Amino acid sequence: MRRIVLFLLALLTVACSADDVDDDRFLVVTTVAPLRNIIEEVGGDRINVVALVPEGTNSHTFDPPPSAVGEIERADLIVINGLNLELPTLELAEANAAEETPIVLLGNRAVSPDEYVFDFSFPESDGNPNPHLWTAPHLAVEYAVIVLAALSQIDAGGADYYAANAERLIERLWALDEAIAAATATIPDAHRKLITYHDSFPYFAPRYGLEVIGAIQPSDFSEPSPREVADLIEQIRDAGVPAIFGSEVFPSEVLDTIAAEAGAVQVSTLSDDDLPGLPGDPENTLLAMMVENVRTMVTALGGDASALDGFDAGSTWRPSE
């Protein structure tokens, strides 16, 4: 039911015209919820943000609806992740955005090509690097800095306000980075391995001494073949991994089979672009999503997640004066 509510809310958001909000706010069009939240945290009440990709939707295969054209045409700024994550949206933006509207690709600016990660879900042979930079707080900091520059470019009068908001968000992201490091340090050495359904943590894991040793979902986003399932079961047994992690966005019955055969616990509550709660809720933030993810990982892998207790994962922006 929550998925249905989120989907309907997202469709209403996309359908809502920029004319329905304060005329003096700048319209920023983006894609997935974590980017929407970063933009909101920096832009505060000087902007209106429309996220085209409904939460709980596979952003890799999402095709924007015709109603997105209107939002793109009116946008003052378009911000997408890039790294080939939202190619249909990028093509739509390039074809319909006003000539003066900047189109910012966050991932392409945050890391250089020699830092791209190619892996199980994103093999180098396909030419698409893993795009999930925002699950790593230190790279979310880079996203905030890029958003700050982009908003200041279209609204020079709000530059100081945006800078103050960005500073608060960045400070909180660095605090989260420290809390995650403390929590993950408690995971036993033999358990510091991640197998996920969708490979969403390749930039996150190495920073905290974790190793991504596999992903269950093939690069074409289909279900794994019986041969691939058998190989994964053997890999999990050999590695002694105590838990494998699924996602609410990518439900898969094969996870139960793999976990049962490999003798591992199956946890299917990780998220990479589906924020807790509903838009407008205090916990509907990238910070809260990552706190939940890390608490889940650390606990399932035999560590102590108490370093995250009491962490303020709420919104960081303040109203303009």
Residues 134 and 35: beta-carbon distance below 8 Å: yes
In this structure, what token pair is assigned to residue 85?
A: 């994550």
CA distance 184 to 274: 22
- Mean pLDDT over 185-193 rounds to 96
User: Quick one: which of 170, 176, 166, 149 has its CA closest to 44?
Assistant: 166
Average pLDDT over residues 17-41: 83
Q: What is the mean pLDDT of residues 235-255?
A: 84
Q: Which pLDDT score, from 0 to 100, does residue 256 have? A: 86
Mean pLDDT of 269-284: 91
Contact 151, 160 (CB under 8 A): no
pLDDT at residue 297 is higher than 70: yes
> Residue 300: helix, strand or coil by DSSP?
helix
Q: What would the mean pLDDT of 125-151 be, rounded to a whole number? A: 96
Q: Which residues contact 76 (CB under 8 A, 6 or more apart)?
A: 26, 27, 28, 101, 154, 155
Stretch 99-118: mean pLDDT, rounded?
97
Name residue, tokens 């909101």.
40
Please say whether the beta carbons of 31 and 50 come within 8 A: no
pTM of the predicted model as reported, rounded to 2 decimal places = 0.91
- Is the pLDDT at 301 greater than 90, yes or no? yes
- The domain spans of the chain are 2-177, 186-308
More confident residue, 26 or 10: 26
The token duo for 12 is: 């209403």
Place of tokens 């992740």: 81
CATH placement of domain 186-308: 3.40.50.1980
**Contact status, residue 82 vs residue 59, Cβ threshold 8 Å:** no
The tokens for 109 are: 């600016």
Domains 2-177 and 186-308 share a fold: yes
Give the residue with greater pLDDT, 131 vs 214: 131
Residue-level pLDDT at 251: 67
More confident residue, 164 or 21: 164
User: What is the CATH T-level fold of the domain 2-177, as seen in this structure?
Assistant: Rossmann fold (3.40.50)
CA angle 115, 311, 196 (to 5 degrees): 45
Q: 54, 121, 114: which is closest to 89 by C-alpha?
A: 54
Lowest mean pLDDT among 15-19, 36-40, 155-159: 15-19
Residue 21 has pLDDT above 50, yes or no: no
Q: In a 10 Å sphere around its CB, with 0-12 CB exposed, 13-18 middle and 19+ buried, how is residue 186 labelled? A: middle
Q: How confident is the model at residue 222 (pLDDT cuts 50, 70, 90)?
A: confident
Instruction: Report how far residue 256's alpha carbon sits from residue 272's, in angstroms, rounded to the nearest whole number.
Output: 21
Summarised one tens digit per residue, pLDDT across range 32-89 is 999 999 999 999 999 999 999 998 788 888 999 988 999 999 999 999 999 999 999 9
- The DSSP result for 216-265, as a single string, is SS-TTSSPPPHHHHHHHHHHHHHHT-SEEEEESSS--THHHHHHHHHT-E
Phi, psi at 47, each rounded to 5°: -135, 160
Instruction: Give the torsion through C-alpha atoms of 280, 282, 286, 291, to 10 deg.
Output: -150
Mean pLDDT of the chain: 90
Is 221 a residue whose pLDDT tops 50?
A: yes
